[in-house]
């Protein structure tokens, strides 16, 4: 009787670690290496069953590390990535904060200088206002004593803008109206007494009546042309 050839058994591949596939390949190769003649049917089945049981024992389940609470093979990579991403560039941050503080100090110094200059201008303005208030109160005391008596004990102080200044403006307005009336009266007198005088005609347009008044006094004091000098009577020696 002819000797039969070896029997080849092919196992289906299952999902799992590479170690399990290697164990199954070793088990299959061990089975194919033994001829069927040396083993009986029971012996061949026993070898196959023992190789399968060894492969199951050697290849752990993919879920076994998770059930046991062990870390995943990818966990070290994840940990290193998180550690790398959490590292800060301290030198760059120090440079940014240094520039920020420098710019802030520069801005604060500039604003402080502006405030100091504004405060100095305010002090100067208050001093000038105080001086002008004293001059106004002195004017009221000399030219409007009745109005000055109504101002109180400190007319140049806090009550200057509400009491002393309105009184001063009223006095100025009265003086302006009086000067306008005086200018109109002098112009009328010049037209009546010296109607052909070109000098007086130019002075009539002046805002101040003082130049016209001086010209009128000079012309009135001078002797008329072709007549005896003023101050002499008829019959006196020349």
Phi, psi of 131 (to 5 degrees): -65, -45
**Of all helices (H) and strands (E), which one includes residue 129?**
helix 90-143
Summarised one tens digit per residue, pLDDT across range 64-96 is 544 444 455 555 555 555 555 457 788 888 999
d(CA 131, CA 118): 20
Q: What is the pLDDT of residues 167-210, one digit of tens each?
A: 889 988 998 999 889 889 998 898 888 888 888 888 888 878 88
And the tokens for 103? Answer: 């710019």
pLDDT for position 50 = 54
For 111, half-sphere exposure in the C-beta direction (CA atoms, 13 angstrom radius) is 6
Confidence (pLDDT) at 165: 87
Task: Give domain limits for the chain.
Answer: 91-156, 168-222
Q: What are the tens digits of pLDDT across the range 112-151? A: 999 999 999 999 998 998 899 889 888 888 888 888 888 8
Could you tell me the two tokens for 54? 């060894």
Q: What is the pLDDT of residue 66?
A: 46
State CA 114 to chain mean position distance.
Answer: 15
**DSSP code string of 170-196:** HHHHHHHHHHHHHHHHHHHHHHHH-TT
Mean pLDDT over residues 17-45, rounded? Answer: 48
Q: What confidence tier does 40 reach under pLDDT thresholds 50, 70, 90? A: very low
Of the candidates 174, 177, 180, 178, which has an alpha carbon nearest to the alpha carbon of residue 207? 180
**In this predicted model, which residue has the larger pLDDT, 170 or 157?**
170
- Please report where in the chains the tokens 């290697």 appear, as a residue: 22
**Helix or strand run (H / E) with residue 122:** helix 90-143
């Amino acid at each position: 009787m002819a000797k039969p050839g070896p029997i080849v058994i092919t196992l289906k591949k299952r999902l799992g670690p590479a170690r399990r596939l290697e164990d199954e390949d070793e088990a299959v190769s061990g089975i194919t290496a033994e001829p069927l003649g040396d083993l009986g049917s029971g012996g061949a089945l026993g070898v196959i069953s023992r190789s399968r049981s060894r492969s199951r024992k050697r290849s752990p389940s993919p879920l076994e590390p998770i059930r046991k609470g062990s870390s995943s093979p990818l966990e070290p990579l994840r940990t290193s990535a998180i550690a790398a991403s959490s590292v800060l560039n301290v030198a760059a941050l120090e440079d940014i904060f240094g520039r920020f503080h420098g710019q802030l100090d520069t801005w604060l110094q500039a604003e402080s200088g502006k405030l100091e200059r504004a405060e100095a201008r305010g002090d100067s303005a208050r001093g000038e206002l105080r001086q002008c208030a004293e001059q106004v109160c002195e004017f009221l005391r000399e030219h409007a004593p009745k109005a000055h008596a109504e101002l109180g004990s400190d007319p140049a102080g806090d009550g200057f803008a509400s009491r002393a200044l309105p009184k001063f403006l009223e006095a100025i307005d009265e003086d302006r109206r009086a000067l306008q009336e005086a200018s109109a009266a002098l112009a009328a007198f010049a037209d009546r007494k010296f109607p052909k005088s070109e000098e007086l005609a130019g002075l009539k347009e002046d805002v101040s009546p003082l130049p016209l008044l001086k010209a009128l006094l000079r012309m009135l004091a001078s002797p008329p042309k072709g007549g005896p000098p003023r101050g002499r009577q008829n019959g006196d020696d020349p």
